[in-house]
Structure 1
Amino acid sequence: MASHAAALLAISLLVLWTSPAQGGANDAEDCCLSVALHPIPGNIVRAFRYLHIQDGCRVPAVVFTTKRGRKLCAPPDQPWVDRIIRRLQKKAAKNKRHSS
């Protein structure tokens, strides 16, 4: 029960507000204002995308989309972020092989 409550607390702390990119591109993209400092449980993530400074964002980030559709901002230089991305890429490659 305590671990479930801790996970819910961590997830709720990780849901960060986003705002449109300022300047740069005409097609404003959502940017992260900050990133999560604590690991996101990999089993709740279904997709990811990168946000770069050169895209007009002030904070570089990886945006994870959860199975419930929430967007969570994470720092791209953390090992736990790399592990989640590798797992998602491996799963996508496996699904692609099975659908061919």
Structure 2
Amino acid sequence: MALKSAALLLLALVAFVYAEAFTSQALDCCLSTSSKMIPARTVKSYVKQTVNGGCQIPAIQFITKKNKKLCAPVPEDYNWAARLMDLLDRKQQRK
């Protein structure tokens, strides 16, 4: 009887872990942005964050060379963000 209980408990645990792994995908969203200009020398890439993608605000996530995420406003609001994205795109094309 104890073996059946242990097997059921193990099965329930496996089912729970499996369900969590495939149904709860944590989003890494910017909750706010900073208008402070980010130096190009510190950034290696960027990711566009959209409301349609599950985040609350549109933003640009600039990833630094130390793998930190800096949240900037969308380029329509700040020209420096658009210029930095263009620079990173050109660097990527040269690779």
How high is the TM-score relative to the length of structure 1?
0.66
Q: Which residue of 2 aligns with 1:57?
A: 55
Q: How large is the RMSD of aligned CA atoms in angstroms?
A: 1.5
Instruction: Return the alpha-carbon distance in structure 1 between the equivalents of residues 81 and 41 of structure 2.
Output: 13
In structure 2, the partner of 1:7 is none
Identify unmatched segments of 5+ residues in structure 1: 1-24, 96-100
Q: Which runs of 5+ in 2 are unaligned?
A: 1-22
Superposed CA deviations along residues 9-39 of structure 1, whole A, max 9, x for unmatched, are: xxxxxxxxxxxxxxxx953321111001111
Shift of 1:91: 0.6
Which has more radius of gyration? 2
Whole-angstrom CA distance in 1 between matches of 2:80 and 2:47 = 15
Q: Does residue 94 of the first structure (1) align with residue 94 of the second (2)?
A: yes
How many residues are treated as equivalent by the alignment? 71
- Give how far 1:56 is off: 1.4
Task: Tell me how far apart the structure 2 counterparts of residues 65 and 44 of structure 1 sit (CA, whole Å).
Answer: 9
When you count strand as a share of all residues, which structure comes out higher? 1
TM-score (norm: length of structure 2): 0.69
Cα deviation code 1:32-57 (max 9, x no counterpart): 11001111111100010011001111
Q: 4+ runs of 1 displaced by more than 2 Å? A: 25-28
Identity of aligned residues (%): 35
